């Protein structure tokens, strides 16, 4: 009872802090948030946050800079409806971190509106190296679209979409960032961009290291990460309305440590290389065209060194992704038409067996592949000044190699109607299909794969309300219900959880609501407040064994003036526990909160000195546990305790 009372008090403090700006006098300063940012993710065209009439959140460049956000995970933890499932802080987490939107692990990650991969190699669409990607100087903003978006973005977009938008090259700028702190933290970041006439370039290089960490209970967890990422982009403007660009990005992480649950050393690495070509043009005033080609290669290997074999089989996949989009915008109509072609190839040889129905005709080692061709169209029609109608359709036709069972084409639809009943208030209702093609690992993995898997599919209904008090003060609410008629899940087939394979399962449901309130109170104070409530039932999915929050509160508060910026952020997590399943002592706490703080002093116009304090109150918490799977007491993958780091950033 004392723990619950303490959590209620802490949550009350958060709410009180968020209200401070309302009673603080106005003074000259530098705003931290832009509350009505322009987004592109919801409907594939430029819109303001409330015009999109969807459950969307944005982390802007200004927020990233002022709070020294070092990776996408730190940014995304500020937003409602987003849940991480990390195996601790170092080492192992670099290999198996997971992310869910609206309770679903099936999400799509985009860079500049285009998928990074498809038929994802590791079998989990929600696998996203958010804690490792650290080239934040190259990121302009991060859009998050919660809810099904299969029509807009294709296979996998059940829980939503994360769109990482890179910076445009507009001027000459260089930044150097150096930081270090507890848990072996060391970081060096270099970013440079330049423009001469119609030609521009940008270059970045980031080196980041972490070591052993200590959790909130005082236990040391052995592990280390070494992350290196760099990239270069060259852009040529033919006119104010036409340009081409080519970019190369390389991300590599190597890690090692000691697994406290399996009591064994481990090591591994992950690398992602991508080459992106884009051409964009505007013509005849209202028409825009964008073509993107992305070639991406991913390799991953994780091994428990005391084991006789690979705990997780290594994989290496290559993706080729083509996207052509044509859009038309007028006062009444916004029309988007597009074509996608995605191909995934296994770079490692896989043994296949060809049967005649009774016996094996032959065995052969081949490079497996899968591909998909799709065409989509969406029309947003402003019927009157108050009413909006949106209709969309996508047709997908997947293919495989000669050894893949044929998958049937799939057609998905979306409908939305919106009504602005005052200049500041709007409501909307929507229906969106989603579908999930099996990944190459789910099909071909020699240990867990199932060649007979069929695509999963279902739909999401949602209702929303937006209140725009001003350009700097917005309230957004969204209720959703997601029904999977068929989905792809992992089913254990033996006494050990890892003795199993992927199967098609029916009967999955999630429903809930998200609330976000954000305000730039004045030039000094800005705040975010988010709340999400969710219920999940998924046959064969272990998420109901205490892995998701029934209720979750997120908050961020910033104070800024000419010399100082001080930020406070964090979350409150109220864990769902299924009363029909044993969970006694399965987690450090059922209800807990984690608070973080950062402060920056602008020594001059070029130099900023900053301090970050993560987990201020040294809370013991975890997002994965082995206790409920037969492990002993405290057999969970704990997150880091309080950690202090310092840094300096020089910009010229």
pLDDT tens-digit readout, 468-496: 999 889 999 999 999 999 888 888 776 66
CA neighbor of 127 nearest in space, from 90, 70, 73, 178: 73
**Percent of the chain's residues with pLDDT above 90:** 52
Give the helix ranges, DSSP H, for 92-135. Answer: 93-96
Q: What rounded mean pLDDT belongs to the chain?
A: 86
Is it the case that residue 21 has pLDDT exceeding 80? no
d(CA 567, CA 556): 7
Looking at residue 312, its pLDDT comes to 66
The answer to whether residues 300 and 95 touch, using CB atoms and an 8 Å cutoff, is yes
Query: Which residues is 614 bridged to in the sheet?
Result: 643
Place of tokens 């080519």: 246
The mean-pLDDT minimum among 90-104, 170-184, 622-636 falls in 90-104
Collapsing DSSP to helix, strand or coil, 23 comes out as helix
Query: Tokens 């350009």 identify what position?
Result: 471
| Cβ neighbours of 405 (radius 10 Å) | 11
Mean pLDDT for 604-622 is 96
| Half-sphere exposure (Cβ direction) of 243: Cα atoms closer than 13 Å | 17
* Virtual torsion, Cα 112, 117, 119, 121, nearest 10 deg: -140
Per-residue confidence (pLDDT) for residue 504, from 0 to 100: 87
DSSP 130-189: TTT---GGGEEEEEEEES--HHHH-TT-SSEEEEEEEPP--S-EEEEEEEEETTTEEEEE
**What distance in Å separates the CA atoms of residue 400 and residue 340, rounded to the nearest whole number?**
16
- For residues 487 and 105, give the distance between their C-alpha atoms in angstroms, rounded to a whole number: 11
Give yes or no for residue 9 having a pLDDT over 80. no
38: its two tokens: 């322009």
Q: What pLDDT, on a 0 to 100 scale, did the predictor assign at position 243?
A: 94
Residue 644 has pLDDT above 90, yes or no: yes
CB distance 86 to 131 below 8 Å: yes
Instruction: Inform me whether the pLDDT recorded for 35 exceeds 50.
Output: yes
**pLDDT, tens only, 226-282:** 999 999 999 999 988 899 999 999 999 899 988 888 888 888 888 999 999 999 999
For 590-609, write each residue's pLDDT tens digit.
Answer: 999 999 999 999 999 999 99
**What is the CA angle 54-134-107, rounded to 5?**
35
Strand partners for 224: 256
Name the least confident of 54-68, 399-413, 616-630.
399-413
Residue 378 contacts residue 152 (beta carbons within 8 Å): yes
Phi, psi of 449 (to 5 degrees): -70, 160
Can you give the pLDDT at residue 6? 41
DSSP conformational letter for 25 = P
Which tokens in the block code for residue 609? 């000195």
CB 80 within 8 A of CB 101: no
Quick check: 476 and 55 in contact, CB under 8 A?
yes
Cite the DSSP H helix spans in 60-169: 61-66, 72-76, 93-96, 150-153
CB atoms within 10 A of CB 334: 22
Instruction: Say how many C-beta atoms besides its own lie within 10 A of residue 337's C-beta.
Output: 14
Which residues have C-beta within 8 Å of that of residue 521, sequence separation ≥ 6? 21, 22, 24, 472, 527
Q: pTM (2 decimals)?
A: 0.90
Among 392, 422, 397, 419, which Cα is nearest to 407's?
A: 397
Question: Helix or strand or coil: residue 70?
Answer: coil
* pLDDT value for 29: 42
CA angle 30, 32, 38 (to 5 degrees): 120
Residue 524 clears pLDDT 60, i.e. is over it: yes
Q: List the structure tokens of 2.
A: 């004392």
Model pLDDT for residues 582-592, shown as the tens digit of each residue: 666 789 999 99
* CB neighbour list of residue 482: distance below 8 Å, 6 or more residues apart: 102, 103, 104, 147, 148, 158, 159, 434, 458, 459, 460, 509, 510, 511
Residue 24 predicted with pLDDT over 70: no
Residue 23 has phi, psi (to 5 degrees) of -105, 5
Yes or no: say if 134 and 229 are a contact pair by the CB < 8 Å rule: yes
Best CA proximity match to 54, nearest among 479, 553, 425: 479
Q: How far apart are CA 449 and CA 540, in angstroms?
A: 16
- DSSP reduced 3-state for 136: helix
Token pair of 477, please? 């609410």
Residue, of 95 and 402, whose pLDDT is higher: 402
How large is the average pLDDT for residues 491-503? Answer: 75
Q: To the nearest whole percent, how much of the chain has pLDDT over 70?
A: 88
pLDDT band at 28 (very low <50, low <70, confident <90, very high): very low
The band of 8, judged by pLDDT with boundaries at 50, 70 and 90, is very low
Distances (CA, A) of 307 to 304, 311, 597: 5, 7, 41
């Amino acid at each position: 009872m004392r723990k619950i009372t303490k959590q209620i008090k802490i949550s009350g403090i958060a709410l009180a802090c968020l209200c401070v700006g309302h009673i603080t006098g106005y003074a000259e300063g530098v705003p931290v948030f832009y509350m009505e940012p322009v987004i592109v993710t919801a409907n594939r065209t430029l819109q303001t946050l409330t015009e999109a009439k969807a459950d969307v959140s944005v982390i802007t460049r200004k927020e990233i800079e002022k709070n020294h956000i070092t990776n996408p995970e730190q940014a995304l933890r500020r937003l409602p409806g987003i849940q991480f499932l990390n195996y601790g802080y170092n080492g192992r987490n670099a290999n198996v971190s997971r992310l869910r939107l609206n309770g679903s692990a099936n999400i799509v990650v985009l860079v500049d509106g285009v998928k990074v991969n498809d038929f994802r190699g590791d079998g989990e669409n929600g696998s996203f190296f958010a804690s490792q990607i650290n080239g934040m100087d190259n990121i302009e903003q991060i859009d998050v679209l919660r809810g099904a978006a299969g029509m807009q973005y294709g296979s996998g977009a059940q829980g939503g979409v994360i769109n990482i938008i890179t910076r445009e090259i507009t001027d000459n700028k260089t930044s150097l960032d150096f930081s270090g702190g507890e848990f072996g933290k060391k970081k060096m970041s270099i970013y440079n961009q330049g423009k001469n006439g119609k030609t521009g370039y940008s270059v970045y290089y980031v080196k980041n290291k972490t070591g052993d960490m200590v959790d909130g209970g005082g236990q040391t967890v052995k592990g280390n990460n070494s992350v290196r990422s760099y990239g270069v982009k060259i852009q040529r403007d033919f006119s104010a309305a036409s340009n081409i660009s080519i970019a190369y990005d390389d991300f590599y992480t190597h890690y090692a440590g000691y697994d406290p649950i399996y009591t064994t050393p481990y090591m591994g690495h992950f690398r992602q290389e991508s080459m992106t070509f884009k051409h964009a043009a505007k013509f005849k005033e209202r028409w825009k065209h964008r073509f993107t080609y992305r070639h991406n290669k991913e390799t991953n290997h994780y091994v428990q060194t005391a084991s006789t074999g690979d705990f997780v089989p290594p994989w290496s996949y290559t993706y080729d992704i083509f996207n052509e989009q044509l859009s038309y915008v007028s006062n009444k109509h916004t029309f988007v038409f597009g074509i996608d072609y995605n191909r995934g190839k296994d770079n490692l040889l896989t043994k296949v067996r060809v049967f005649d129905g009774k016996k094996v005709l032959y065995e052969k080692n081949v490079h497996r592949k899968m591909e998909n061709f799709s065409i989509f169209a969406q029309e947003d029609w402003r019927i009157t000044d108050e009413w909006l109608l949106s209709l969309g359709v996508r047709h997908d036709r997947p293919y495989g190699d000669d050894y893949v069972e044929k998958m049937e084409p799939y057609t998905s639809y979306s409908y939305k109607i919106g009504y602005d009943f005052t200049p500041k208030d709007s409501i909307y209702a929507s229906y969106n299909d989603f579908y999930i093609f099996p990944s190459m690992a789910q099909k071909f993995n020699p240990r867990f794969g199932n060649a007979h898997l069929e695509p999963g599919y279902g739909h999401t209904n949602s209702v929303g309300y937006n209140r725009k008090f001003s350009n700097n003060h917005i309230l957004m609410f969204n209720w959703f219900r997601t029904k999977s008629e068929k989905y792809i899940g992992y089913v254990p087939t033996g006494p050990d959880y890892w003795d199993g394979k992927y199967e098609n399962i029916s009967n999955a449901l999630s429903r809930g609501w998200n609330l976000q309130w954000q305000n730039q109170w004045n030039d000094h104070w800005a705040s975010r407040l988010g709340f999400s409530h969710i219920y999940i039932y998924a046959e064969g999915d272990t998420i109901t064994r205490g892995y998701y929050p029934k209720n979750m509160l997120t908050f961020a508060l910033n104070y800024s003036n000419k010399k100082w910026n001080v930020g406070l952020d964090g979350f409150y997590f109220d864990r769902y526990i299924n009363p029909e399943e044993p969970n006694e002592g399965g987690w450090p706490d059922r209800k807990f909160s984690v608070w973080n703080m950062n402060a920056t002093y602008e020594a001059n116009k070029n130099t900023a000195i900053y301090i970050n304090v993560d987990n201020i109150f040294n809370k013991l918490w975890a997002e994965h546990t082995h206790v409920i799977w037969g492990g002993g007491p405290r057999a969970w993958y704990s997150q880091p305790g309080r950690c202090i780091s310092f840094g300096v950033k020089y910009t010229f």
